[in-house]
Chains A and B, each alone.
Chain A
């Protein structure tokens, strides 16, 4: 079974070029080439390009499956989530680079960032539930629920509680600041833990590999989001911060998972 033994060149390209591109963007920003305005533009446009590439790879994977196949709708949902994130970033870039303004928080880009959770979460949960005929579901469901609720509680205590109590923070900003980390844990991390516990029952079976990349990506995104919320609250975040690298790498890992799934499409065997 050729495709299950190793990753394709396309998959390696997505992973390696994606990470290299993200690191180059971050290095250019960190070194401050061209001054502050150029750094902001490089960071914003670089992020759109890297995450846009991840969206393209994921959507192409979805469309590689036939109409009516479950995998098509699962990966289309994940791809749509990434596209929404890119649209949010495009809007952010327009405000910051073209208009030369500080993007408002909360602002229009947040509409897309919030919508992203619905699609990404749906894609991962529906993919995990698709295994219900093959493996046991109760233990993964309980395990992921416990981890999700515990993580949400920890984030509330460490981060959200203080932001909500801060009288200097407006109501909508408080709501959104609470939403992002809680959605990260309940709509992304918990479904990701659910699917990794589900596919861990496949042992070395190749079907589990794409989802391990997805889980790694979601974990990186969740950490980056939590850090961003804290930095933003402390007034320490500015475009080009190291936390931006986390978002780029998180989405590159999701796209790598998509490409690994595409590697599993075997050519039709010749019937004798």
Chain B
């Protein structure tokens, strides 16, 4: 079963590419004092907030909402 980090990268990758998707997840993990692999369901609020902050200026709002919903769906 993929980790949360892997799931989030897989969801973000079609939009922002592998490298930026990785950076997005690692930056969130770093801000929480964790490694990307240690991210868990409880870190979702921080992850969502980071994704919204980084993608907000460059991607359509509806698309970001859709991505967040996909990420939430992936941990259920």
Q: How far is the CA of A181 from the CA of B20 in the complex (A)?
A: 35
* Known contacts A71-B58, A265-B60, A269-B73, A207 near B16 by CB under 8 Å: yes
Interface magnitude class on chain B: 20 to 34
Q: How far is the CA of A187 from the CA of B58 in the complex (A)?
A: 21
Cβ contact within 8 Å between B19 and A201 = yes
Q: How far is the CA of A271 from the CA of B74 in the complex (A)?
A: 11
User: Is B41 on the interface with A (CB-CB < 8 A)?
Assistant: no
Which residues on the B side are within 8 Å of A70 (C-beta)? 56-58
Query: Which candidate, A84-92, A127-135, A223-231, is the interface stretch facing chain B?
Result: A127-135
User: Is A138 on the interface with B (CB-CB < 8 A)?
Assistant: no
Cβ contact within 8 Å between B60 and A69 = yes
Cβ contact within 8 Å between A130 and B60 = no
Cβ contact within 8 Å between B66 and A266 = yes
Q: How far is the CA of A267 from the CA of B65 in the complex (A)?
A: 9
Cβ contact within 8 Å between B14 and A201 = no
Could you write out 13 A-B pairs with CB less than 8 Å apart?
A66-B61, A69-B60, A131-B57, A134-B23, A134-B58, A135-B20, A203-B20, A264-B59, A265-B60, A265-B62, A269-B73, A271-B69, A272-B76
Which residues of B approach A to under 8 Å, CB–CB?
13-21, 23-24, 53-63, 65-67, 69-70, 72-73, 76
Which residues of A approach B to under 8 Å, CB–CB?
1, 3-5, 65-66, 69-71, 127, 130-131, 133-135, 201-208, 261, 264-272
Known: A134-B54, A265-B60. 19 other contacts (CB 8 A): A1-B15, A71-B58, A130-B57, A133-B57, A134-B23, A134-B58, A135-B20, A201-B17, A202-B20, A203-B19, A205-B14, A205-B17, A205-B20, A207-B15, A207-B16, A207-B59, A208-B17, A266-B62, A269-B70
